[in-house]
Structure 1
Amino acid sequence: MLLCFLCLTTTVQAQDYFFGNPVIRNFKPEEFKGGIQSWGIVQDDRELLYVANNFGLLEFDGATWNIYSVKSGTKVRSVFVGKQGRVYVGSQGDFGYFEPDQAGILTYKSLADSLPTKDRNLDEVWRIYEQSGRIYFFTFKNIYQYTPGQKVQVIRTKGPLEFSFQANKNLYILAWNQGLSLLENNQLQLLPGGEFFAQKQIASVLPYDKNRLLIVTIKEGLYLYDGQQVAPFLLQETTACQELVINQAVLLKDGNFALGTQNKGLVVIDNQGKLVLHTAVQDGLLDNTIHTLYQDTQDNLWLGLNNGLAMVELSSPFSKLDGTLGLAGTGYAAMQKDNSLYVGTNSGLYVTNLTSGKKRFTLVPQSTGQVYHLDHIGGQLLMAHHNGPFLIKDNKAQLIYPLGGAWEFVQVPNQPNRLVSGSYYGISLLSSTPEGLKFLQKFKGLDESSRVLEFDRDGDLWMAHGYKGIFRVTFDAAYERIIKVQFYNSKNGFPSDQLINMEKINNELIFPALSGVYKFNKATNRFVLDKFYSSLFAPDEHVVEMEEDIQGNIYFISNQRVGKISLDKFGKPTMEDKLFKNIQDQLNDDLSYIQILDLNNVLFGAKDGFIHYNAAKPKRMAPFQTRLAQVFSIASEKDSLLYTGRLLDRAQDTDWKYAFNSLRFVYASSFYEQPEKTQYQYYLEGFDGGWSTWTNKTEKEYTNLPEGTYIFRVRARNIFGTLSEAKPFEFVIHPPFYRSSWAFLFYALLGGLLVGAVAMQVDRRFKKEKRRLILDKERKLGQKEIEIREITNQSEQEIDRLRDEKLQAEIDHKNRELTYSTIHLINKNELLTAVKAELQNIIKNGGRAAQADELNRIIKNIDHNITSEVDWKQFELHFNHVHGDFIHRLQERFPCLTPQEIKLSTYLRLNLTTKDIAQLLNISVRGVEISRYRLRKRLELDRSENLTDFMLKF
Structure 2
Amino acid sequence: MKTTTYLWLLLAGLLELLSGTVVAQVVEPLFRTLTATDGLAENSVYAIVQDQRGFLWVATQDGLSRYDGVGFRTFRNDAQQPASLASNFVLSICQDRHGNLWAGTGGGLSCYNSRTNQFHTYRAAPIDSSGLSDNFVPAVLCDRQGRVWAGTESGLHRLNPATQRFSLFKHLPSPKAASVRRNAVRALAQDRAGVVWVGTGEGCVSRLDTSRGHLVPDDRLQPAGVVTTLCPDRAGGLWVGTDTGLLRYLPAGRGPIRSFNPDATHLGSLPVAAIKKVFEDREGIIWVGTTEGLCRYEAATGTFSRVQHQPRNRHSLPENTVQALFQDHSGLLWVGTEAGLSCARLQPSPFGSLATGVAGPVWAVTSDALGRVWVGTEEHGIVCYDPATGRRQQFRHNPTDPGSIAQNYVRALCFDKQGRLWVGTQNQGLDCLEPGSTRFVHYRHNPSQSNSLADDMIQSVYEDRQGTLWVGHNGGGLSCYNPTTGRFTAFRHNPGNPHSLPNNFVRATFQDRQGRFWVATGGGGLSRYDVKTNQFTTFRADGRVPHSLSSNSVRCIFQDRRGVLWVGTEGGGFSQLQDAQRGRFTTFREAQGLPNDVVYSMLEDNQGYLWLSTNKGLARFSPRTRQFHTFDERDGLLQDEFNAAACHRSAAGQLYFGGVNGVVAFRPEAVQTNSVAPPVVLTAIRKFNRPIDLPDTAITERRTLLLAPQDNFFSLEFAALNFQLPEKNQYAYRLEGFDEHWIPAGRRREATYTNLDPGTYTFRVRATNNDGIWNSQGVALQIVVAPPWYRTWWFQVGVSWAVFGLLFMAYRMRVTQLLALERVRHGIARDLHDDMGSTLSSISILSQIARNHQQQHRPDQAAALLDQIGESSRRMLDAMDDIVWAINPAHDALEDVTARMRSFASDVLEARGIDFTFRVDPSVQGQKLGMQARREFFLLFKEAVNNLAKYAQCQHASILLTYQHGQLHLTVQDDGIGFDPAGPAQGGGNGLANMRSRAAALNGQLTIDTAPGQGTTLHLKVPLGNE
TM over 0.5: yes
- For 1:173, give the aligned amino acid: V
Provide the C-alpha distance between the structure 1 equivalents of 2:516 and 2:29, rounded to a whole number of angstroms. 36
Q: Is the 8 A contact 2:427 2:457 kept in 1?
A: yes
| AA of the residue aligned to 2:641 | N
The question of whether the paired residues in 1 share the 8 Å contact of 2:11 and 2:27 is answered with no
Cα displacement string for residues 52-82 of structure 1 (whole angstroms, at most 9, x for unaligned residues): 1110111112233111124554410101122
Q: What is the aligned partner in structure 1 of residue 640 from structure 2?
A: 587
Distance 1:181 1:681, change over 3 A: same
The residue type paired with residue 196 of structure 2 is: L
Which residue in 2 is equivalent to 1:67? Answer: 74
Instruction: Find the aligned partners of 2:456 and 2:510 in 1 and give their Cα distance.
Output: 19
Q: Quote the offset at 1:50 in angstroms.
A: 0.8
* Corresponding residue of 2:983: none
For residue 48 of structure 1, what is the amino acid of its counterpart? F
Query: Over the residues paired in the alignment, what is the CA RMSD in angstroms?
Result: 5.2
2:271 is the alignment partner of 1:243:
yes
Q: 2:363 aligns with which of 366, 369, 372?
A: 372
Mapped pair 1:629 → 2:636: no
Larger radius of gyration: 1
Aligned partner of 2:602 among 546, 560, 571: 546
CA separation of 1:414 and 1:620: change in aligned 2, threshold 3 A: closer
Counterpart of 2:778 (choices 709, 726, 740) is 726
Partners of 1:276 and 1:523 lie apart in 2 by 67
CA shift, 1:654, in A, is: 3.8
Structure 2 gaps of 5+ residues are 1-9, 78-84, 173-180, 385-390, 400-404, 446-451, 538-556, 567-574, 577-585, 589-597, 834-1027
Contact residue 179 and residue 196 of structure 1 kept, 8 A: yes
Aligned with 2:444 (options 421, 442, 445): 442
Tell me, in whole angstroms, the C-alpha distance in 1 between the residues paired with 2:112 and 2:473.
66
1:256 counterpart = 2:268: no
Q: 2:117 maps to what in 1?
A: 105
Letter in 2 for 1:205: C
Write the letter of the residue equivalent to 2:118.
L
Amino acid at match of 1:730: Q
Q: Which residue of 1 aligns with 2:920?
A: none
Q: CA offset at residue 242 of structure 1?
A: 7.3
Which residue pairs with 1:839 in the alignment? none
Shift of 1:307: 0.5
Deviation larger for 298-307 or 164-173: 164-173
**% identical aligned pairs:** 17
SS in 2 for 1:694: strand
CA–CA distance in 2 between the matches of 1:180 and 1:503? 73
Aligned length: 720
TM-aligned CA distance change 1:716 to 1:595, over 3 Å: same
**Aligned match of 2:846:** none
SS of residue in 1 equivalent to 2:813: helix
Distance 1:548 1:154 in 2: 67
Conserved? CA contact 1:85–1:646, under 8 Å: no
| Aligned partner of residue 317 in structure 2, secondary structure | coil
Q: Which residue of 2 aligns with 1:460?
A: 468
Uncovered stretches (5+) of structure 1, i.e. residues with no partner: 1-6, 322-333, 347-370, 567-571, 782-954
Q: CA 1:107–1:718 in structure 2 vs 1: closer, same or farther (change >3 Å)? A: same
SS at match of 1:760: helix
TM-score of the pair, normalised by structure 1: 0.63
Determine if the alignment matches structure 1 residue 137 to structure 2 residue 150.
yes
1:407 equivalent in alignment to 2:418: no
Aligned residue number for residue 86 of structure 1 = 100
Aligned with residue 56 of structure 1, among 54, 63, 82 = 63
Q: Of the candidates 658, 663, 667, which is equivalent to residue 714 of structure 2? A: 663
1:688 maps onto 2:739 in alignment: yes
Go from structure 1 to structure 2 and tell me whether the alpha carbon gap of 1:730 and 1:477 turns closer, same or farther (over 3 Å shift): same
Output the CA distance in 2 between the equivalents of 1:24 and 1:477.
Answer: 57
Is this contact kept in 1: 2:376–2:382, CA < 8 A?
Answer: yes
2:156 partner amino acid: I
**Deviation, structure 1 residue 665:** 1.3
- Residues 425 and 195 of structure 1, relative CA distance in 2, 3 Å threshold: closer
- Greater relative CO (CA pairs within 8 A, separation 6+): 1
- Given the alignment of the two structures, is residue 208 of structure 1 paired with residue 234 of structure 2, yes or no? yes
2:482 to 460, 472, 475: 475
Whichever residue aligns with residue 294 of structure 1, its letter is F
Residue 308 of structure 1 corresponds to which residue in structure 2?
340
Q: 1:128–1:212: structure 2 CA closer, same or farther, 3 Å change rule? A: closer
Looking at structure 2, the residues matched to 378 and 599 of structure 1 have their Cα atoms a distance apart, in angstroms, of: 11
Correspondences of 1:84-483 after superposition (within 5 Å):
84-100=98-114, 104-112=116-124, 116=128, 120-139=133-152, 141-149=154-162, 150-158=164-172, 159-160=181-182, 161-168=185-192, 169-174=194-199, 180-185=205-210, 186-191=213-218, 194-195=220-221, 197=223, 201=227, 203-209=229-235, 211-213=236-238, 220-221=245-246, 223=248, 225=250, 227=252, 228-230=254-256, 232=258, 239=267, 243-245=271-273, 246-265=275-294, 267=296, 269=298, 273=302, 278=307, 280-281=309-310, 282=313, 283-315=315-347, 317=349, 335-336=354-355, 341-342=356-357, 344-346=359-361, 371-373=362-364, 384-386=376-378, 389=381, 398-401=396-399, 406-408=409-411, 410=413, 413=416, 419-425=421-427, 427-431=429-433, 436-438=438-440, 440-443=442-445, 444-447=452-455, 449-464=457-472, 471=478, 473-477=480-484, 481-483=486-488
Query: Shift of residue 544 of structure 1?
Result: 3.0
Q: Secondary structure at the match of 2:94?
A: strand
> What's the TM-score once normalised by structure 2's chain length?
0.59
| 2:357 counterpart letter in structure 1 | Y
3-state SS of the aligned residue for 1:477?
coil
Partner in structure 2 of residue 928 of structure 1? none
Give the SS at the match of 1:230: coil
How far residue 420 of structure 1 moved from its aligned partner, in angstroms, is 2.8
Given candidates 747, 757, 763, the residue that maps to 1:712 is 763
Q: Distance in 1 between matches of 2:232 and 2:414?
A: 57
Cα distance in 2 for partners of 1:435, 1:496 equals 36
Is the alpha carbon distance of 1:311 and 1:198 closer, same or farther for their aligned partners in structure 2, counting shifts above 3 Å? same
For 2:23 and 2:406, the matched residues in 1 are separated by 42
Return the match for 1:673 from 717, 724, 746. Answer: 724
Amino acid at match of 1:717: T
In structure 2, the residue matched to 1:700 is 751
Q: Which residue of 1 aligns with 2:489?
A: 484
Q: Per-residue deviation at 1:88?
A: 0.7
Residues 383-392 or 248-257, more deviating = 383-392
CA contact (8 A) 1:594 1:603 kept: yes
* Cα distance change of structure 1 residues 197 and 506 upon mapping to structure 2, 3 Å threshold: farther
Q: Greater helix percent: which structure? A: 1
Cα offsets for 1:40-59 (capped at 9, x unmatched): 11111110111111101111
- State the one-letter code of the partner of 1:27: L
Shift of 1:96: 2.1
Query: Which residue identity does 2:453 align to in structure 1?
Result: G
Q: Structure 1 748/13 Cα, relative in aligned 2: closer, same or farther at 3 Å?
A: same
Q: Is the 8 A contact 1:708 1:734 kept in 2?
A: yes
